[in-house]
Structures are given as C-alpha cells and as structure tokens.
C-alpha cells in the first residue's frame, strides 16, 4: 500500500501513521503528503521523514479542473494507491473521490453520524458534544464520499465524556484513540480485509484468525 496523507494542521495522526509503519505494525509506505496550507505542522513532519510534500491551496488554481489536474499529477507521480485524510479541511474534488472510492478514508473525532458534517471540525466538534450533554463521544474512520463525514463507517471506538471536561481535554482524550484507530484501519486495507457492500463495511478475519479457526475442532 502506497499512501498519500492529506493534512491541513499539526499532523499528529500523520505522525501516528509514520510511527506505526516504523514499528513494523502497518505494512505501508507514505509516498506523499498533500497540504493546502504552507504553514501546516504536517509539512515539517514530512520533511523530517524525507517524504515529498505537495502544497496545493485550491484557491490558487484558476478553476477546479486545474486543481484536480495538479492533484492527480502528484498522486500519479508518487504512485499513490490509497489516500488517508488526516485533518484535511478542504473538500476533495468529485473526480478524485470517484477515482479513489473505497481507497480513501478519513478520521473524524466523534461517533458519526453525530457531531459531523460541514463546519464540524477541530474543537467545534468537542464543544458541540459538551454543549449537547452527550455521555459518550469517540472516533470514526470512514470511507470518503462526496459529502462531509458521510461515507460508510470502517471502524469506530467510543470515548467517555467526563464531568470536568473542557473541549481541549476531551479533544486530547479522543486524539489518543485516533492515533491507535487510524493505523489500525489502514492496516485492514493493507491486508485486504475490508469488504464494502453499500453502506456496510465488513472486516474479514486475518489469515492468522482464519487458519486458527480451521484448525480448531470446536470451530464451525
Ligand atoms: C483530528 O481530530 C481528526 O480527527 C480531524 O482533524 C484532527 C487532526 O488532528 N479530522 P492532527 O492534525 O492529526 O493532529
């Protein structure tokens, strides 16, 4: 699996992906970082790992097709076959969404479909969770389709909301889970264990699990 990570911000999820690869837990390589903001912390992280970074602010292109062309050129040049959005705040143009459908995922810091959609990003999500009085929030990894935070769900993990939480404290608790969940989800794709049927995503057992169950006399 040869990844492009798209990030607009600090890039702690990008870092978690790089760390999982380095630890040998994720059979993938990152061939490209795409950012819309020259000041994104994620760019420094790419430089530190000698990963090429493409800075492509959509507003600097004449029109959408010029932007799509530039994006596509980068993805092709770096032989990318999977895209991970990690705190990327710009909408992905429809031709790219269609071309990579099933091979492009996003992570969102709530239990979707709650507290997602346009304008729900960063601390706004956690402020909304606290304002609503929800007792649980969490992290969601989903396929990217043409609507914000809407594609079929791949993995979710709940996180409790505690009485003294501020948006910042809650964000940090959720982020710790994101850093585990995102590399895990990517690993499932890398191992070809993700089956997509409409909105239903099924995770197939690993080779180890299926070998194990076929040897198990009590198994089905
Ligand atoms: C994360 O909370 C992610 O869920 C959301 O944007 C944030 C990005 O954080 N999509 P970072 O840049 O990875 O630190």
Looking at residue 204, its pLDDT comes to 95
Number of structural domains found in the chain: 2
- Closest atom, ligand 1, to C-alpha of 10: 12
Residues 94 and 162 placed together within one structural domain of the fold = no
pLDDT at position 111: 98
Q: What is the pTM of this model?
A: 0.94
Q: Do 86 and 115 belong together in one domain?
A: no
91 and 146 both lie in a single domain: no
- 106: nearest Cα among 43, 37, 185: 185
Distance 207 CA to ligand 1 centre (A): 31
Tell me the residue ranges of DSSP E strands in the chain: 2-6, 29-35, 53-55, 82-85, 104-108, 136-143, 153-160, 194-197, 200-203
The strand pairing partners of 82, in sequence order, are: 3
Q: Residue 194, SS3? A: strand
Predicted local distance difference test score (pLDDT) of residue 114? 98
Question: Of 100, 120, 143, which marks where a domain is finished?
Answer: 100
CB of 5 closer than 8 Å to CB of 86: yes
Residues 181 and 93 in one domain: no
Do 19 and 69 fall within a single domain? yes
Q: What is the per-residue pLDDT for 37?
A: 96
207 is catalytic: no
Q: Which residue's C-alpha comes closest to atom 7 of ligand 1?
A: 87
Catalytic one of 108, 126, 142, 179: 108
Same domain for 85 and 120, yes or no, is no
Q: What is the pLDDT of residue 214?
A: 53
Last residue of a domain, one of 100, 118, 133: 100
pLDDT digits (tens), the chain, 220 positions: 999 999 999 999 999 999 999 999 999 999 999 999 999 999 999 999 999 999 999 999 999 999 999 999 999 999 999 999 999 999 999 999 999 999 999 999 999 999 999 999 999 999 999 999 999 999 999 999 999 999 999 999 999 999 999 999 999 999 999 999 999 999 999 999 999 999 999 999 987 776 665 555 555 5
Distance from the alpha carbon of residue 69 to the mean position of ligand 1, in angstroms: 26
Ligand 1, residue 174: give the atom nearest the CA: 2
List the domain range (segments joined by +) for residue 154: 108-220
Secondary structure (H, E, C), 93-110: CHHHHHHHCCCEEEEECC
């Amino acid at each position: 699996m040869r990844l492009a990570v798209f990030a607009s911000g600090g890039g702690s999820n990008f870092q978690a992906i790089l760390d999982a690869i380095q630890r040998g837990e994720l059979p993938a390589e990152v061939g490209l970082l795409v950012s819309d903001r020259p000041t994104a912390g994620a760019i420094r992280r790419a430089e530190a790992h000698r990963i090429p970074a493409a800075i492509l602010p959509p507003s600097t292109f004449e029109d959408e097709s010029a932007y799509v062309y530039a994006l596509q050129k980068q993805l092709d040049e770096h032989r990318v076959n999977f895209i991970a959005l990690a705190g990327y705040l710009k909408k992905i143009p429809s031709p790219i969404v269609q071309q990579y459908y099933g091979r492009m995922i996003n992570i969102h810091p709530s239990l979707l479909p709650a507290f997602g959609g346009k304008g729900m990003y960063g601390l706004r999500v956690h402020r909304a969770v606290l304002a609503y009085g929800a007792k649980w929030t969490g992290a969601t990894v989903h396929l990217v389709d043409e609507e914000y935070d809407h594609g079929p769900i791949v993995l979710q993990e709940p996180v409790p909301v505690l009485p003294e939480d501020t948006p910042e404290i809650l964000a940090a608790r959720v982020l710790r889970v994101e850093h585990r969940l995102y590399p895990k989800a990517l690993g499932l794709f890398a191992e070809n264990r993700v089956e997509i049927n409409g909105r239903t995503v099924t995770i197939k057992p690993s080779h180890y699990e299926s070998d194990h169950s076929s040897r198990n006399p009590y198994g089905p």
